[in-house]
Amino acid sequence: MDGMSRRRFLRSAAAGAAGAGLVSASRIQPPGYGPGIRTEARMAPTPRPSLVKPERLRPGDTVAVVNPAGALFSATDIRIVVERLEALGLRVRTGEHVLSRHAYFAGTDEERAEDLNRMLRDPQIRGIVATRGGWGSARILDRVDYDAIRADPKVIVGYSDVTALLNAVHHRTGLVTYHGPVGISPFTEFTAEHFRRVLFHGEAYTLENPVRVGNDLTHTADRILTLTPGTARGRLLGGNLTVFTTILGSDFVPDTAGAIFFTEDIGEELYRVDRMLTQLALNGILDEVNGFVFGRCTNCGPGGGFASFTLEELLEQHTGGLGVPVWYGSMIGHIPDMFTLPVGLEVEVDAASGTLTLLESPVA
């Protein structure tokens, strides 16, 4: 079976299994380029659990602040985190080890996992907010109490390194998790609005970048760049590119067939972005998704090398021949104004307008 026939077969099978809408995009593969080539033998995916939504957050609910990854170095930082969440009308409980430090981690693997599991098992806790990212969440995935999550689904929110936890929980339990601000993120008006609309109000609505002209004749910030126009539907999956690629091949990665895949990153030289996109391709992920959304690559540049592709060129190389909607610049990433995205929920994307529509309530 040649590459195009294989892709048609995979996409029709994914659409039949997931009920995803047909994409209306079409592009020719750039000549002389072939990251769509992938290994034929792949492990059979773990059966997909039924979708589970946590109850929406309400004013007066108690949420936990835990730190599954990098250390904080100031008690003032955690005080600010608590005050932010209290400003949303929530009660806040902090993990025992939220200010612990074990080298660059917030405590040992055992301590960080125990903080998380203690909150997962507590029926009074209705949501869990990661304090920060950094590195460390993947090291505790085999210690998480997934049975406690199944027994009492809660809101779990974070981004960056927390990508590993969000995807592992969704894969193992079917729970919708939330790619959104961590505790030390600035809760700007934009960020707080989308946090509330998703987690408090449970709105099925369209997320689109703001148009803010400012002191100019046209708006220059937060623009989207359509690489392949079209519309598509699928489960929303993804997260930080570096973190997602580091857990590939493990038993903590959701089945991405028919998904709308989103990603973002920070501080990566462009050759490394190229390497990670190639890793997605070699794992068959790019071949099987219904749409691809790259949020922001903050402070991603060519580095000190002799020459470099631009990020736009890399995205075109890796996605231009997929025949699915692709755009860059969504409000996803290490930026002050960010969306809160429900991982695992059915969505529809329109690459021409750069919109992402939640097709059902993101919470129960």
Active site residues: 160, 264, 334
Within 10 A of 358 (CB to CB), how many other CB atoms are there?
Answer: 21
Tokens of 100: 């612990």
Residue-wise DSSP of 121-139: H-TTEEEEEES--SS-GGG
Eight-state DSSP code of residue 70: B
Residue-wise DSSP of 141-204: GGGS-HHHHHHS--EEEE-GGGHHHHHHHHHHH-B-EEE---TTS---HHHHHHHHHHHTS---
Are the beta carbons of 231 and 260 closer than 8 angstroms? no
Q: Which of 73, 69, 194 is nearest to 132 (CA)?
A: 69
Strand order in the sheet with 341-343: 91-94, 62-66, 125-130, 155-158, 177-179, 341-343
Are the beta carbons of 309 and 278 closer than 8 angstroms? no
Within 10 A of 222 (CB to CB), how many other CB atoms are there?
Answer: 18
